[in-house]
Amino acid sequence: MICSRCGLCCINLDIFIINPRSIRPDGTLDPGDPEAMIRKPAGERCTHLAFTGEVALCAIHDLPCYRGTPCDRFETIGPADGPCTLRGYLQSQGV
Ligand code: SF4
Ligand code: SF4
């Protein structure tokens, strides 16, 4: 899936994200922290989301704590070299 960085999934998916308060100075998490993951409800903008113009940026994308998260593992249906089908779906829903 080719991500066009529209940011729609970072707003409209009901997912679990890294708790900003749980990120240590070196970008890792305490594996024993029970509050390291928090729920981000659908329709609520992720606290880690920023935009440069219309290009979405994930503030924690390059941190070690991002690896293995639901966001890191996210893929959509369709060919690996094709456009993001979720974006098309969300746009068709008028979100
Ligand atoms: S909806 Fe798809 S294209 Fe838009 S940011 Fe999410 S993964 Fe990328
Ligand atoms: S953590 Fe990053 S990729 Fe995941 S929803 Fe938030 S901004 Fe998007």
Ligand positioned closest to the Cα atom of 74? 1
**What is residue 59's predicted lDDT score, i.e. its pLDDT?**
98
pLDDT digits over 22-37, tens only?
Answer: 999 999 999 999 999 9
Share of the chain above pLDDT 90, in %: 86
- Residue 64 in this model has a pLDDT that exceeds 90: yes
pTM of the shown model: 0.92
Nearest CA to ligand 2 atom 5: 10
> Residue 30: CB partners within 8 Å, gap ≥ 6?
22, 24, 36
Nearest CA to ligand 1 atom 8: 3
**What is residue 78's predicted lDDT score, i.e. its pLDDT?**
84
Query: Which alpha helices (DSSP H) does the chain contain, by range?
Result: 9-12, 70-73, 85-92
Instruction: Kindly state if the Cβ of 3 falls inside 6 Å of ligand 1.
Output: yes
**What is residue 36's predicted lDDT score, i.e. its pLDDT?**
97
**What is residue 80's predicted lDDT score, i.e. its pLDDT?**
85
1, 2, 8, 81: which to mutate for ligand 1, most atoms within 8 A of CB?
8
Mean pLDDT of 59-75: 96
**CA distance linking residue 38 with residue 45, whole number of Å:** 13
